[in-house]
C-alpha cells in the first residue's frame, strides 16, 4: 500500500532553493548522509548498552557506500537504529526542523550551502546531485517502509513487509546526468577520506603505513569540549622541507563533520611532521565555510589569559608576530567590543601611516583624555591600552603589518596628528594641576 503526503511548506521551499540554486561544491551531500548514518549507528549503540538484544542479528555496526553505474544510483546504507513509518513521515517531510527557516534565510543572504548539516536539514542536500531519492528504513519496533520523492511537492510512503532489511536505513540517490562522477570509486574514496575520516569506524581493506613512532590521545571536558589524537610517523616525510608543500597536518572536525584540512593555529610550522585530528562537540560555526565563530568562551579566555599572551610577546621572540595577531584592545571605534590589530589596520585611512594608541588606567578615563581629541576630530582611530604590561609590549614591538605604533602622548606623535596646524609640539613641565590654556 502506497500513501502520498505533501511536504510542509518550509521544507518544500528549502528543496526548491537547493535544486534551483547554482552551487559548485555539491560534494557535501555525501558528508551529510554519512554523518546521519553515523548518528543512527550511535543511537542503536547507546540503546544496546542497557538492552543488548536490540542489536539482534547485526551486532557489528557499519556504513556502506555503494555505487551502481548501470542504474546510475549511489546508495548510502547503515544498520543503525532505523526509522518507523511515523519517523519517515515526520522527519523527512511534514514537520520542519527549527533550523529550516534559519538555513534558508542564511542561504538567501549569500551564506554557504556547506553548513547545511549544522541546521539539522542535511538530508535534503541529496537533491544537489539527485533528481529522485528513495529511502528504505526498518526500525526494531516497526516493519520496513520506503520513502520516495522527486522533490515535486509530495512524497510517498510504501509498506514493504517482504523486504530483507533487518534494521537500518538505505538511501538511494538516482543521480542527475551531470553528476555521474560520484559513481567513480576513486572519487568516493577521496570524499569519504576528506569529509568523514573522523568517524568512529575503519574502512575495510584499508592499507596501513606502519605503526607510528609515538601516539598521544587526549580529551578535554568543560565549557569547550574536544577529543584529539596526535602521532609522530616512524619515518620523516620525504618532502618535509619542501616550501611549496600543502600542509594537511591537523584536521579539524565539529561533531565529526569535516571543517578544515589544516588548522594552522593548532600546530606550528616547525612541527610539520606531526599528524592528528581534533574533533569538538560544541565549537560553533558561522554559515561561511571554514570560518570558526568568535564566541563567549574565547572572549572569556582572552579576559582571563590576555596578559599571558602579552607576556609571550615580551619574552618569545620567535612567536612574537603570531602572538600579536591575538592581541585585542578597546578603541575609539570599537564601542563595547574589543578589536584586533588586523581589524584596526583594515579601517585605517588611506593617508594614515601609524597605529595610534594611548595608555592609561581604564577605558573610561582614556575616552575623556584630551590627547585623543584631535585624532577623533580627524577621524583617526585610537587604541586604548589599559594594562601596565602594554607599555612593556610596545617597547618590544615597533610595527604591525608595516604600520608603526605611535603613542599620542609623545611629542612627535602629536605633531604628526595636528599636521600643519602647529609648528612644534612640546610637553610642558610647568603645569601640575591646572589645565592648559589655549
Query: What ranges make up the beta strands (E) of 185-331?
Result: 214-220, 226-232, 250-254, 257-260, 275-280, 328-331
Phi, psi of 294 (to 5 degrees): -70, 125
Is 169 annotated as ligand-binding? yes
Q: Which set of grid coordinates corresponds to residue 434? A: 591646572
Q: Which residues contact 207 (CB under 8 A, 6 or more apart)?
A: none
- Spell out a b/e string for 426-435, using b for 16 or more CB atoms within 10 Å of the CB, else e: eeeeeeeeee
Parallel, antiparallel or unpaired: strands 275-280 and 226-232: antiparallel
Is 119 annotated as ligand-binding? yes
Is 121 annotated as ligand-binding? yes
Is 222 annotated as ligand-binding? no
Is 91 annotated as ligand-binding? yes
Nearest to 157 by CA among 137, 181, 177, 185: 137
Q: Which helix (H) or strand (E) holds 298?
A: helix 296-315
- Distance between the two ends of the chain, CA-based, in angstroms? 93
CA distance 86 to 357: 63
Q: Residue 376 in contact with residue 383, Cβ under 8 Å?
A: no
Phi, psi of 231 (to 5 degrees): -150, 155
Is 419 annotated as ligand-binding? no
Is 122 annotated as ligand-binding? yes
Is 56 annotated as ligand-binding? no
Q: Which residues on neighbouring strands pair with residue 158, listed in sequence order?
A: 2, 146
Is 99 annotated as ligand-binding? yes
CA distance 32 to 118: 10
Is 32 annotated as ligand-binding? yes
Q: Which residues contact 116 (CB under 8 A, 6 or more apart)?
A: 28, 32, 103, 122, 124, 125
Burial class for 199, CB neighbours closer than 10 Å (0-12, 13-18, 19+): buried
CA distance 385 to 336: 14
Is 414 annotated as ligand-binding? no
Is 249 annotated as ligand-binding? no
Is 430 annotated as ligand-binding? no
Is 5 annotated as ligand-binding? no
Q: How many residues does the chain have?
A: 438
Is 240 annotated as ligand-binding? no
CA distance 134 to 435: 81
Q: Residue 89 in contact with residue 83, Cβ under 8 Å?
A: no
Query: Which residues make up each annotated binding site for ATP?
Result: 32, 36, 78, 83, 91, 98-99, 118-123, 169, 289
| Binding site members | 32, 36, 78, 83, 91, 98-99, 118-123, 169, 289
Amino acid at each position: 500500500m502506497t500513501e502520498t503526503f505533501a511536504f510542509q511548506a518550509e521544507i518544500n521551499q528549502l528543496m526548491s532553493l537547493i535544486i534551483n540554486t547554482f552551487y559548485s561544491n555539491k560534494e557535501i551531500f555525501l558528508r551529510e548522509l554519512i554523518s546521519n548514518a553515523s548518528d543512527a549507528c550511535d543511537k542503536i549503540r547507546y540503546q544496546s548498552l542497557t538492552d543488548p538484544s536490540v542489536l539482534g542479528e547485526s551486532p557489528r555496526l557499519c556504513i556502506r557506500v555503494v555505487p551502481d553505474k548501470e542504474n546510475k544510483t549511489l546508495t548510502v546504507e547503515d544498520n543503525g537504529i532505523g526509522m518507523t513509518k511515523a519517523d519517515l513521515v515526520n522527519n523527512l517531510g511534514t514537520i520542519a526542523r527549527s533550523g529550516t527557516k534559519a538555513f534558508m534565510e542564511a542561504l538567501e543572504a549569500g551564506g554557504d550551502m556547506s553548513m547545511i548539516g549544522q541546521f539539522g536539514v542535511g538530508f535534503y542536500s541529496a537533491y544537489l546531485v539527485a533528481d529522485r531519492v528513495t529511502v528504505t528504513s526498518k526500525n526494531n519496533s516497526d516493519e520496513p517502509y520506503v520513502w520516495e520523492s522527486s522533490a515535486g511537492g509530495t512524497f510517498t510512503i510504501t509498506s514493504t513487509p517482504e523486504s530483507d532489511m533487518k534494521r537500518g536505513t538505505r538511501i538511494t540517490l538516482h543521480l542527475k546526468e551531470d553528476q555521474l562522477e560520484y559513481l567513480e570509486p576513486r572519487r568516493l574514496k577521496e570524499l569519504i577520506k576528506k569529509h568523514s575520516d573522523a568517524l568512529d569506524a575503519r574502512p575495510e581493506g584499508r592499507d596501513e603505513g606502519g605503526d607510528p613512532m609515538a601516539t598521544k590521545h587526549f580529551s578535554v571536558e568543560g565549557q569547550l569540549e574536544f577529543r584529539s589524537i596526535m602521532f609522530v610517523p616512524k619515518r620523516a616525510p620525504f618532502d618535509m622541507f619542501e616550501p611549496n608543500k600543502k600542509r594537511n597536518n591537523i584536521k579539524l572536525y565539529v561533531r565529526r563533520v569535516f571543517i578544515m584540512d589544516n588548522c594552522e593555529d593548532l600546530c606550528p610550522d616547525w612541527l610539520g611532521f606531526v599528524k592528528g585530528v581534533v574533533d569538538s562537540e560544541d565549537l560553533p560555526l558561522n554559515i561561511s565555510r571554514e570560518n570558526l565563530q568568535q564566541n563567549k568562551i574565547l572572549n572569556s579566555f582572552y579576559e582571563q589569559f590576555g596578559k599571558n599572551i602579552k607576556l609571550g610577546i615580551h619574552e618569545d621572540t620567535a612567536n612574537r608576530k603570531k602572538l600579536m595577531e591575538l592581541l585585542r584592545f578597546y578603541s575609539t571605534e570599537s564601542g563595547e567590543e574589543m578589536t584586533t590589530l588586523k581589524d584596526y589596520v583594515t579601517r585605517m585611512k588611506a593617508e594614515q601611516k601609524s597605529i595610534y594608541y594611548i595608555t592609561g588606567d581604564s577605558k573610561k578615563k582614556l575616552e575623556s583624555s584630551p590627547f585623543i581629541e584631535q585624532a577623533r576630530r580627524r577621524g583617526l582611530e585610537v587604541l586604548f591600552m589599559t594594562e601596565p604590561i602594554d607599555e612593556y609590549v610596545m617597547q618590544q614591538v615597533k610595527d604591525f603589518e608595516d604600520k608603526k605604533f605611535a603613542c599620542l602622548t609623545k611629542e612627535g606623535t602629536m605633531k604628526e596628528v595636528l599636521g600643519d596646524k602647529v609648528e612644534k609640539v612640546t610637553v610642558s613641565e610647568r603645569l601640575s594641576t591646572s589645565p592648559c590654556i589655549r
